Structure 1
Amino acid sequence: MSGKPVAKRLVFHIGGYDPITSHTSAQRRFVREIARFQRTWSVNAAVDGLYETADQIRWNVRTAGPDWLVETDYRLVRWHDVIEVFGGRSIGSRISIGILTFLDFVLTGTLWRYLQTNWRYALFFLYPFVTFGLLIAAAFLIGVAAFKITGSIPVATGGGLFGLAAVLAGPWRWLHLGDLFDDWIFSCEYIRFGNSEIEQRLDRLAAELVAAASNSAADEILVIAHSLGAVLAVDLLDRALKQDPELGRNKTPVTFLSVGSSILKVGLHPKATRFRVTMERVAKSRAIFWGDYQALVDPLNFYKSRPMAEMGLSTENEAIVRVVRFSRMLDDEIYRRIRLHFFRLHNQFVSGNDKRTSYDYFMLTCGPISAKSQTLAPDGAVSMIADDGGLIASAAPSEGELPSRPGAAA
């Protein structure tokens, strides 16, 4: 393997809009899933040192193979408090603002852009609003049926209200429609107005990132972001570049990985001018390597897309796009069980694998090979790690070996 193996790594992970998984349970999931990583790659791993601040939850990860040892300072960026604010609004407020949000994305042509770029994502956008509309229509039909049977307007009204109450008490909660409404409401507000709480947090984290890039003993700084968290990661990196335009050039290299990204969810909205300018500044920073991982069966990401090109931005230094297949990561029985559970599929980007493949979240964040080298290699770390977990002395790709066609499948 060319180049020095990673011995110390600093990771900033920004998760997506996930009101179901709290930051505490995210840490438990990390511990559970890294156990699968150990079995798959024949390595040892230990997680300890949980430490919480207002901006992040930190823990230490120590991974080892026969001839390597990596210490990872893992930092999970907090924004669950912001998500809870949206979820704490009244049902009436969430429904009314959600409908306005739906109209915003439709009337601005954003839905049409989703359809042109990835029709599966357009269906994901439509799902909560269309489902809610059908449920309301069902409640209305209960009222109509009650009127036809009794001829009484009060009885019909009572039947309709009963149907509405049943919708809000049942499917609204069971199908997480409120959470999905909030996801789109947050995105719309972020596009048009930003979010002061998140922006202040990102400013503080950007200062940490800049200081670490200049002073830490890390061999690599990895900013890895899942789903809508990729949008916040772009914002974070832009703020860090404003504080230090030489970020990643001097001491510690910086890698940005967007996995199952929702960058185009925001970037395709015509009013997202501020975000597109931010995205272009980050992409133009050649010292920051950007890899974008996508999956066909995940309707919550933009499969086989070129983010910069889709946003109409310069593609001179765009992301290296890698297409991954969850069916190759998981045991057949497990994959069959989850393949129709789209949220679980979406979270495979941050879960452990049962098989060695080109994409492995824990190998990227805790393994001995740099995330950049893994992204550039067609098979990730597979040909660099032996059956016993040791390093194989085979060449990792250099910067001159970048794929000639962005979007080439890994």
Structure 2
Amino acid sequence: MTRTDRQPAPISRPADAPRVTRRRVFYIPGYDPIHPRRYRELYRKEGADQAGISGYEVTLSARASRPGARYGWSVAGRIEGGEVAAEIDVLVWSDIVRASMSHTIAATYLQLVRTAWAYIGSGALFRLMRLRKGPIIAALYPVGFLILQAAIALGAGYMLARAVVAIAGVAVLPGALGALLGALTGAGAAYAILRWFKARDGRFYAYYLMHDYAYAARYGGANPPPLEARMAEFADEIAEALTQDVDEVLVVGHSSGAHLGVSILADLIRAGRVPPGGPALAFLSLGQVVPMVSFLPGAHRLRADLAFLSTARALTWVDVTAPGDGCAFALCDPVAVSGVAPPRRRWPLVLSAAFTQTLSPARWRTLRWKFFRLHFQYLCAFDRPGQYDYFRITAGPQTLAQRFEGRAPSASRIVAPVNKFTSIAP
């Protein structure tokens, strides 16, 4: 498999480029039904830990609420000899996520069948396997575990039904009545077991992950209309920030939020809404799972947006993943592997967070098998920090372009165009 290609270097910046004193940050979460306050508390805790390790200051404070304003917080950073005021907004789509989740067991199993067919029937699953095994295992896990739950429930129900029929025979009940009693008892037991598993999905994540993959697969990789409408709102807010007196507007997309960020920013730039001479525009994609969507036959919009954004001069795009994150397509160039890389592309700059190097051996041993926690490590503190530092990027005095100026892409990045579906128009 080809792992390197020739890619233009990132845009160079003058050595005397002004330092950032004010920044707007827009964080786009992945498929997450939970209130965004979790991200504020994560930033508060992990920012304090990283500041203590790295010797700088990050102070988080509540922001005065405004009618119609997004959920967010203010950050004051004293980093690298600079003082920075950052406003962080979470672009919330958790209500759309909650509405997409099936609330019945039967509906979830129907989603399982439809999603499996979407990936297997299109051949996308087999092509994704050629990239990284980790996210494919993560994708197959809910399918396998839900099938296992059904097998346990049906097996237990069947054995209980047979026992009831046998007891009914001893009690000299009519055969038909005994069979009915056994069937009802067995079905009730099977349903109770499935309910038991569903009630504990906070430990197993089978239903949650099934809903996640089903959401992308439902429209064959296209965005559902409610999500498209919300993305247009996000674009409006980012466009407004680009007219304000700030030095940088930074968009951060995590997990499936990364491919939303691609499309939002592509729309923004195509429409000419990035003012010349305005704030620097930057996009930081973290733990991306773009191929899970772009490899589906109906993902025409996303593929077109990837191709467009990869040549854009109006922004800087840095993509950070880590091989230790089994839920992301680590070091897979999302444009190249999707098969839509134009000849003179500029972005993204693909970098590794290198968890095995930036986390101490003791810390790595603690987190290694906590797959979902590792998927959020990009937003957390590193006890052996390297060049990637989420808090320096969001609250430090350099733009994203300045911070990674001249940095070569990871030598082990994957750029093989293995996607079968490369059309960018329906």
Question: What is the TM-score with the length of structure 2 in the denominator?
Answer: 0.82
CA-CA distance at 1:236 after TM superposition: 1.1
CA contact (8 A) 1:248 1:288 kept: no
CA-CA distance at 1:346 after TM superposition: 0.3
Give the superposed CA RMSD. 2.5
Rounded Cα–Cα distance in structure 2 between residues aligned with 1:144 and 1:319:
54
RCO (CA 8 Å, sep 6+): is it higher in 1 or 2? 2
Look up the equivalent residue of 1:31 and give its one-letter code: R
What corresponds to 1:362 in structure 2?
A: 391
CA-CA distance at 1:211 after TM superposition: 3.1
CA contact (8 A) 1:47 1:62 kept: yes
Rounded Cα–Cα distance in structure 1 between residues aligned with 2:349 and 2:268:
22
CA contact (8 A) 2:318 2:351 kept: yes
Rounded Cα–Cα distance in structure 1 between residues aligned with 2:374 and 2:117:
28
- Deviation track 1:250-297 (CA, whole Å, cap 9, x = no partner) reads 322211111100111111112211211122122221222211111112
Number of residues paired by the alignment? 382
What corresponds to 1:12 in structure 2?
A: 26
Matched residue SS, 1:95? helix
Matched residue SS, 1:62? strand
Unaligned runs of 5+ in 2: 1-14, 167-178, 415-426
Q: Which moved more, 1:304-313 or 1:192-201?
A: 192-201
Rounded Cα–Cα distance in structure 2 between residues aligned with 1:233 and 1:202:
9
What corresponds to 2:142 in structure 1?
A: 128
Rounded Cα–Cα distance in structure 2 between residues aligned with 1:307 and 1:66:
32
CA contact (8 A) 1:224 1:258 kept: yes
Unaligned runs of 5+ in 1: 377-396
Answer with 1 or 2: which has the greater Rg: 2
Rounded Cα–Cα distance in structure 1 between residues aligned with 2:412 and 2:234:
30
CA-CA distance at 1:88 after TM superposition: 6.0
Question: Quick check: 1:41 aligned with 2:60?
Answer: no
Q: Which residues in structure 2 correspond to 1:64-79 (within 5 Å)?
A: 64-65=78-79, 67-79=81-93
- Deviation track 1:144-173 (CA, whole Å, cap 9, x = no partner) reads 434565655443662354134213323662
1:24 alignment partner, one of 26, 37, 43: 37
CA-CA distance at 1:58 after TM superposition: 2.3
What corresponds to 1:219 in structure 2?
A: 247
The verdict on how the C-alpha distance between 1:63 and 1:372 changes in structure 2, with shifts beyond 3 A counting, is same
Look up the equivalent residue of 1:305 and give its one-letter code: C
Look up the equivalent residue of 2:190 and give its one-letter code: G
What corresponds to 2:420 in structure 1?
A: none
The verdict on how the C-alpha distance between 1:193 and 1:9 changes in structure 2, with shifts beyond 3 A counting, is same
Rounded Cα–Cα distance in structure 2 between residues aligned with 1:12 and 1:56:
10
- Deviation track 1:38-73 (CA, whole Å, cap 9, x = no partner) reads 112211222123346657312211111473101112
The verdict on how the C-alpha distance between 1:285 and 1:191 changes in structure 2, with shifts beyond 3 A counting, is farther
CA-CA distance at 1:190 after TM superposition: 5.4
Matched residue SS, 2:186? helix
What corresponds to 1:231 in structure 2?
A: 259
What corresponds to 2:348 in structure 1?
A: 319
Rounded Cα–Cα distance in structure 2 between residues aligned with 1:126 and 1:164:
23
Rounded Cα–Cα distance in structure 1 between residues aligned with 2:103 and 2:149:
21
CA-CA distance at 1:406 after TM superposition: 8.2
Rounded Cα–Cα distance in structure 2 between residues aligned with 1:278 and 1:193:
12
Q: Which moved more, 1:218-227 or 1:173-182?
A: 173-182
Rounded Cα–Cα distance in structure 2 between residues aligned with 1:200 and 1:241:
18
Rounded Cα–Cα distance in structure 2 between residues aligned with 1:225 and 1:177:
24
Matched residue SS, 2:376? helix
Question: Quick check: 1:262 aligned with 2:276?
Answer: no
Look up the equivalent residue of 2:307 and give its one-letter code: E
CA contact (8 A) 2:252 2:286 kept: yes
CA contact (8 A) 2:222 2:298 kept: no
What corresponds to 1:272 in structure 2?
A: 299
The verdict on how the C-alpha distance between 1:294 and 1:211 changes in structure 2, with shifts beyond 3 A counting, is same
What corresponds to 1:155 in structure 2?
A: 182
- Deviation track 1:70-124 (CA, whole Å, cap 9, x = no partner) reads 1112111111111111236333223212321222111111111211111221111
